[in-house]
Amino acid sequence: MSYSGKSMIWIKALRMPFLTVTVVPVILGAVVACREIGHMNWFNFLLTLLGGCFIHLGLNLCNDYYDHVSGNDEANRHPTPFSGGSRVIQDRLLPARAVLFASLMFFILGAMIGLYLNHVLPGNVILWIGVLGVCVAVFYTAPPLSLGYRGFGEIFVALGFGPLLVCGSYYVQKQSLSIHPVWASIPVGILAALVLYINEFPDYSADSAVNKNTIVVKMGRENAAALFSVILLANYLITVSCALMGWIPFSALAVVVTLPLAVTVIITLNKNCYMIQELLPANAGVIKLHLISGLLLIGSYLI
């Protein structure tokens, strides 16, 4: 196999398009701090962004490996671009041990950046945020916790891609913590969890077969679709309330322009929760919602 062919296989394995779920909260935390202190430490920002991406890539590979070990991805007969793993193990493009090794390497690289930032910054805030973040990334699928297999996946994704990343990035810039980045992190954290949530619908049969008790498996597809709709609409209510209370910039109300897309996602999901191909526009729509809403929120802090 050519070098370029091997590179494309690793790009497929890493699922790099999903890195927007990390990039948005890291930028958000930095701009919240920048709004308060009036400047940006660009070197530390780039290290934070790189470290966060390394941990996310380690998470993606770790998930692939342990979903292979559990038989989850093998049981999935209808993978999509958004669910069912990267398939590099199932399609025999990469050996499972290579995926696990690469996962460990990315976790180590992310940890090294975190340790450096913890060394140059006061206290051990980055250390503890990093330890918690890596633990969530590893034990999302890895035993003995296997959080995603016990129905806790969305909670820890919301925590990891919301408050942990936003507050960590904020601390790197301001070298102190406050409630401000926490408020800012809530909308992006919820949307990150909803990206995971909606991707569980196509995986229903495979997850059920290996006792991966996601919310969709526990509640059934129709009830899970209804709950998804409530959470997505509630996220707008939370964002608007925070803006009106002055906890985030008033200009963050601009996120309501994404409401038509959210309504389209809700209608598509509730209509096609038993379908796979018909549901794909909704899967893509939630990723767009996270990216657009995140950028609008970032922009509100830059105004």
Determine, yes or no, domain membership for 148: yes
- Residue 142, in any domain of the structure: yes
The predicted pLDDT at position 31 comes to 98
> Structural domain tally of the chain?
1
The pLDDT of residue 4 is 60
Residue 290 and residue 192 in contact, taking contact as beta carbons nearer than 8 Å: yes
Q: Which domain holds residue 29?
A: 19-302
68 found inside a domain: yes
**CATH code for the domain of 182:** 1.10.600
Long-range contacts of 276-285 (CB under 8 A, 24+ apart): 276/78, 276/80, 276/202, 277/80, 279/198, 279/201, 279/202, 280/80, 280/81, 280/82, 282/198, 283/80, 283/81, 283/82, 283/83, 283/198, 283/199, 283/202, 284/82, 285/261
Residue 6 domain flag: no
Q: What is the mean pLDDT of each run of 10 residues along the chain (303 residues)?
A: 73 93 98 96 98 98 96 92 93 95 98 98 95 96 94 96 98 96 97 97 95 96 98 98 97 97 98 96 97 98 93
Residue 9, domain member (yes or no): no
Q: Is residue 241 part of a domain?
A: yes
